[in-house]
Structure 1
Amino acid sequence: MKTIIRFLLLATLLQSFQCNEDESVATVTPQQLAQKKQEILDYINSYSCAEASGCNSIAFGAKPCGGPREFLVYPNSVDQVTLQNLVDEYYEMDNEYNIQTGAVSDCMVVTAPSNIDCVNGVCTIID
């Protein structure tokens, strides 16, 4: 009987030292998302366009239901591989934040802008 009690006590004690999986998961904060978005916008704004055909758009962010939150416009003079990597990093952070917070959204599909123009050297969505 003492052996059974010792075994149960040892099993209980060992369980108390197990790691909680949630403690090891890195969390994403709204401040980190805002900082990353600003980094991307600053990168885009460090380039200029000369004409409308020199502009493009890229899906940005992760809606909880799927799909992008919005589209960013940028001049084709940017290093598109660098921009894509930055946007992919943001997507992963945004998606993780959605999971962490149990976020919900309107699930409306956000479409790419159909009319982009170069206005004063800046790619702009024309409504």
Structure 2
Amino acid sequence: MDSVIECIISKFAINTKLCGAVDMLEGKDAIQRDLERLERWACANLMKFNKAQCKALHVSWGNPRQGYRLGREWIESSPEEKGLGVLVDEKLNVTRQCALAAQKANRILGCIKRSLTSRWREVILPLYSTLVRSHLEYCIQL
């Protein structure tokens, strides 16, 4: 599949992402050609893309927001997408990802507070380290 693709393609488990620069008309055409090649490859290998999950994320402020097709269906445009657990919007902002992680951590803290009668450090610290901290530290490098 990789040998015929002009744009950047990344695959992980059952997810495939196609990326390309659309600064000129040639960029839009290259992405559309690659989508057509992917569709032909899938048909030749008796596979299907879940077209309901296919989305176009237009990154940048000056992006012309071109429309793309996969087979006969138009790909829906999306203001944000999640990839490998990281939520990124069209301005490459991860603020919403951080807010969602903080919400999840606060919910877990509330559950710990409601379900435990002991407030001893020896009890709370392992629960915090195990259940809460992992959510706050996920994708911190990003």
TM-score calculated relative to the size of structure 1: 0.34
Query: When you count helix as a share of all residues, which structure comes out higher?
Result: 1
RCO higher in structure (CA 8 A, sep ≥6):
1
Larger radius of gyration: 1
TM-score calculated relative to the size of structure 2: 0.31
